[in-house]
A and B are shown apart, each in its own frame.
Chain A
Amino acid sequence: MAVKDYLRERFFPHLWCPGCGHGEVLGGMIRAIERLGLKKNDIVMVSGIGCSSRIVGYVDFHTLHTIHGRALAFATGVKLARPELTLIVPMGDGDALAIGGNHFIHAARRNIDITAIVMNNRIYGMTGGQFSPLSGINVSATTAPFKTIDKSFDIVELARAAGATFVARSTTYHAQHLSEVIEKAIRHKGFSVVEVLTQCPTYFGRKNRIGDAPEMVKWLKDHTTPVGSKAKQENPELIERGIFVDIEAPEYCEEYSKLVERARGGSR
């Protein structure tokens, strides 16, 4: 199937701003799904609220557009009821790690077979550019006219510590890599997290004078480096990209079905 066969073309052009990275994440994800040869009917995509969460409106799968921060809770319910389906949960940085932070760590802890894609533009895009737990220090935002003093989460380290069994990071500059890690994340059995560093030119870019969308994409090239590279040792400020965790561990739905068997058999 071609990329466009997975899209709900009637809703295009999409509502994202010119140069918004969310559209590119959509493209990377669709190409990953195409390479995996997944059937549209076997995919459930669940999102919360935010510009990023609007992504579910554009894909021709089973889609649930739920409430802010709670997408993983809904996805957990779907997956437990129908474990044979492929669950993908695209989220904004605010959605995943501000209001949804608790759902995020507990989904990781359970190692439920869901792929979470965090579209990290370091800002609340939808509501007008408030800073998020991923903005980091010294960032201008609607709610930080004198710049932020809050340290940012490191999504990779947070996901690893919470128990995610696949953790990767990519960017909208690295389009091919982005799609490849999403493919591996979907293939992985267990809770997978892909952080995508992406651009919100309308709020983050404008307020922080990084420049227009192409400049923001180039910024992602200049400020990241492959995991374990020599460049990182020389410049610790660089953000690493690549696959950080890829391990096997008991998956939640499988453990749950064993529990059901035990209960049926009356043994404890």
Chain B
Amino acid sequence: MAKPKLKRHLINRDWCKGCGICVELCPKHVLELDEQDKVSVVRPQDCICCRLCELRCPDFAIEVETEE
């Protein structure tokens, strides 16, 4: 099976509470909190599409979209 390729992260800024779980636990340090304490994607090229951010986010605020 081919490795999934990142299309984009779908972020719901209204739902993100800036807890930092996705940021701290991303194995590739792809994410950071911005000045408003909302998640932002700073190193998309490093993303391995493991979806752990999506699965661990308690607020349904981040989704990983991959190429078909």
Contacts and interface: CB of A to CB of B under 8 A. Distances in A.
Interface of A: 3-4, 7, 12-14, 16-24, 26-28, 31, 172-173, 175-176, 179, 201, 212-215, 217-218
A21 B19 CA distance: 11
B interface, size bucket: 10 to 19
Contacts of B58: 16, 19-24, 26-27, 172
Interface string B26-68: 0000000000000000000000000010011111100000000
A213 B19 contact: yes
Interface string B1-34: 0000000000000110111110111000000000
A24 B55 CA distance: 7
Top 7 closest pairs, chain A to chain B, by CB: A23-B58, A19-B19, A214-B24, A175-B55, A18-B17, A18-B19, A13-B15
A213 B60 contact: no
Contacts of B23: 214
A217 B21 contact: yes
B52 A175 contact: yes
Interface of B: 14-15, 17-21, 23-25, 52, 55-60
B56 A217 contact: yes
A176 B56 CA distance: 9
A175 B53 CA distance: 10
Nearest to B16: A13
Contact of B56 (A3, A172, A215): A172
B65 to A, nearest CB: 12
Contact of A175 (B17, B24, B56, B59): B56
A214 B25 contact: yes
A214 B20 contact: yes
A212 B15 contact: no
Given A12-B15, A23-B60, A27-B60, A179 B21 contact: no
Contacts of A18: 17-19
